[in-house]
Structure formats: C-alpha cells, structure tokens
Structure 1
Amino acid sequence: MPISLRLPADVENRLAALSTLTGRSKTFYATEAIIEHIDDLEDAHLSAEVLARVRAGTEARIPLNDLLADYGLAD
C-alpha cells in the first residue's frame, strides 16, 4: 500500500545519506522503522494490559524462585 510522508528536511537528509551509504532504499529503512515502532507500541500496550490484570489479581503469577528452580537455575 503506497503511503506518502512529509519528513523534516534533516530527517530526509539522514535517510538519504543512510540509503546512499548502505545501498538500501529509503523505503526499506522507513518500513523497518515503522515496523520496529509498531512492535514497541504493541509490546507497551500488552504490558499495560498484563499489569492491569496483575493489579486486579486476575493474572497468574509465578514466584521467581519457582521459575528458576523449574529451569535448574536455582542456587
């Protein structure tokens, strides 16, 4: 899906320089940046949901000592 973006001149210059330096397209780097940011936003949203369930007492929790013991990492 085509998307048109207006970037600040300094950002566009950096993107163009990186593209020239590496031989990859500006589209490649823009896509990678968007994917990375969406991943981060999704992780933050999921974390907030889990935290709310923990605080509400509806999310199962495992003590760290039990988890370490399960994997043979306990002292």
Structure 2
Amino acid sequence: MPISLRLPADVEDRLSALAALTGRSKTFYATEAIVEHIDDLEDAHLSNEILARIRAGAETTVPLTDLLAEYGLAD
C-alpha cells in the first residue's frame, strides 16, 4: 500500500544518508521503523482508553498484592 510522508528536513537528511551509506532504500528504513514501533504506539493508545474507563468507573482494577497472592507469588 503506497503512502506519502512529510518528514522534517533533518530526518529526511538522516534517512537519505543512511540509505546511501547502506545501499538500502528510504522506504526500507521507513517500513522498518514503523514495524518496530507500531506495537508500542498501539499499546499507548489502548492504555489511554483503559485509563479513561478506570477514571470513569467503567473499568475495575485489582491490587497487585491480590494478584500476586492469586498466583502464589506473594512473599
């Protein structure tokens, strides 16, 4: 799927230099960066949604001590 990105000039310069140095394409490195970090970005978004539900009282929490005891990991 083709996409178009507008990068800050300094990032574009670094990406171009890396591609020239290694013989790989800028697309290769952009794809690698996305693949490497998309899980973290999704997790951050999900965390924000869960935090909002907790603050609204729509989501419950379990104290860590209870969780550790349930799995036999308490001191």
| Same topology, TM > 0.5 | yes
* Residue 57 (structure 2) aligns with: 57
Structure 2 unpaired stretches of 5+? none
* Gap change, CA 1:37 and 1:71, over 3 Å in 2: same
| Identical-residue share of aligned pairs (%) | 76
CA distance in 1, matches of 2:7, 2:66: 50
Length, aligned pairs only: 74
Indicate the RMSD between aligned Cα atoms, in angstroms: 2.6
* 5+ residue gaps, structure 1: none
**Equivalent residue, structure 2, for 1:18:** 18
Q: Which residue of 1 aligns with 2:67?
A: 67
Deviation at 1:21, TM superposition (A): 4.2
Distance in 1 separating the partners of 2:5 and 2:54: 40
The answer to whether 1:9 aligns with 2:21 is no
